[in-house]
Amino acid sequence: MRRLRNVKIVATLGPSSSDYETIRALFEAGADMFRLNMSHGTHDEQRARYDIIRQIEKDTGRPIAVLADLQGPKLRVGVFAAGAADLEEGEPFRFDLDPTEGDGHRVCLPHPEIFEALEPGATLLVNDGKIAMRVETCGADFANCIVTTGGTISNRKGVNVPDVVLPLAALSEKDKKDLEFACEMGVDWLALSFVQRPADVDEARELAAGRAAIISKIEKPAAEKAFDDILAVSDGIMVARGDLGVELPVQAVPPIQKRLIRKSRAAAKPVIVATQMLESMIESPMPTRAEVSDVATAIYEGADAVMLSAESAAGRYPVEAVETMNNVAISVESDPTYREIIEASRAAKRNTVADGIVAAAREIAETTDVSAICCYTQSGKTVALVARERPRVPIIALSPVTATLRKMSLFWGVHAVECEEVERFKMAVVNAARAARDFGFADETNQIVVTAGVPFNVQGTTNILRVAPCDERLIFRTDPE
């Protein structure tokens, strides 16, 4: 099953997509990675979905990536005696630690960490930014505010504090339990919410202990400011535009998205663009033109993947949403302007032998009649470097390591193929030629580029590049033992 586009599609599973038939249909429609949202559903429900994914992987013979998205700390107000209160602009309002039910003048905010970090002049946002307040005076257990944007505040609505770095870890006790469950289950990627600093990623990595790769969700202004340091310790990035759009002016999000994508690509780390991409398809079988343009923009910018959330998890048209995203991607990538933008944004990296090998592979593919770049890999690092180059031909990742192939399924342009362990370069070339033919990337009249490392089956040794025929008889005739 060969994809006809390079950008990958991440589909979230939920009540609308929990049975074998629907998840299989999502995969066949174009989903390359499935997201398990740990904010919703029980462990038993998530395990059942995971088992179905692995059964589909077995039935189709295609490695499939699975992402567990951790909830992160949730900051919420307490409850109101009347269930809600109407706040008018210019009115005073108080947050405190008193658990007494709230009214139109005050409510409990059961997070002392927020009061610890607040300063006069800071902004507090409630209910996804629909209500805004400015802190006038504050202390260890209170914050007296002035309402700057009024509205109805009700029980347990979420609170955002965009102006300060909160003394909160990214992993709550629930997250730690969910992380251990997800790693034991066998997920390939963990998405870390509420990232504010590199230390948050380090903590998650220590707990994961090599069992899953870490994707940092950039959803807070503090994370955007510290992005270079966070990127350095992360395996991938998710541009979580929903919370970014709450805590920052909405007009700031598009340029931030563009910068984060380019920096992630330069670091050879996959970047997912997420949140509200085809949101109208939760209820409608057709997206809006603005949503289609939004998806297209992320693809033009060079994102590795675009993500569906409620559209595939709880919407009425989950399969249609994936099909729409797939069709948009095919259309964008067939536009000559797309290739111009992708190549203009390529950042030259020539720091290692592997950097030089993959750059040469891409240049050979663009200047000669080559059908695919085939990478024999253990860890997937070389594949990531090739994907960073955004070549004009498909990338085939070959490995005997199933976990590596699953992770590589997220990377731009990569088709992952499991093969046996080899001891000689000739057999790596033979496996590459077979994979290129079997999956429709080439026939016996074509050539491929093959990269590998000697000694074999050792990470970080990419040092060979070969232009090879796809005809095995020619390989055996021209290659020495």
Catalytic residue among 47, 74, 76, 259: 76
Catalytic residue among 3, 5, 35, 49: 35
Q: Which residues pair with 379 in a beta bridge?
A: none
Tokens of 237: 């990035």
CB atoms within 10 A of CB 255: 9
Given strand 447-453, what is the order of strands in its sheet?
Answer: 414-418, 395-399, 370-376, 447-453, 462-469
Question: Which residue in 402, 401, 414 sits closest to 375, CA to CA?
Answer: 414
Catalytic residue at 2?
A: no
End-to-end CA distance of the chain: 33
Catalytic residue at 35?
A: yes
Catalytic residue among 3, 5, 157, 217: 217
Contact 191, 69 (CB under 8 A): yes
Catalytic residue at 275?
A: yes
For residue 13, give the 3-state DSSP assignment: strand
Contact 70, 38 (CB under 8 A): yes
Catalytic residue among 8, 241, 269, 275: 275
CB atoms within 10 A of CB 421: 11
Catalytic residue at 148?
A: no
Our CA angle for 434, 438, 444, nearest 5°, is 60
CA distances from 7 to 31, 99, 197, 298, 299 (A): 11, 49, 28, 10, 7
Contact 361, 373 (CB under 8 A): yes
Q: How many residues in total does the chain contain?
A: 481
Strands 395-399, 370-376: parallel, antiparallel or unpaired by DSSP? Answer: parallel
Active site residue ranges? 35, 76, 217, 275
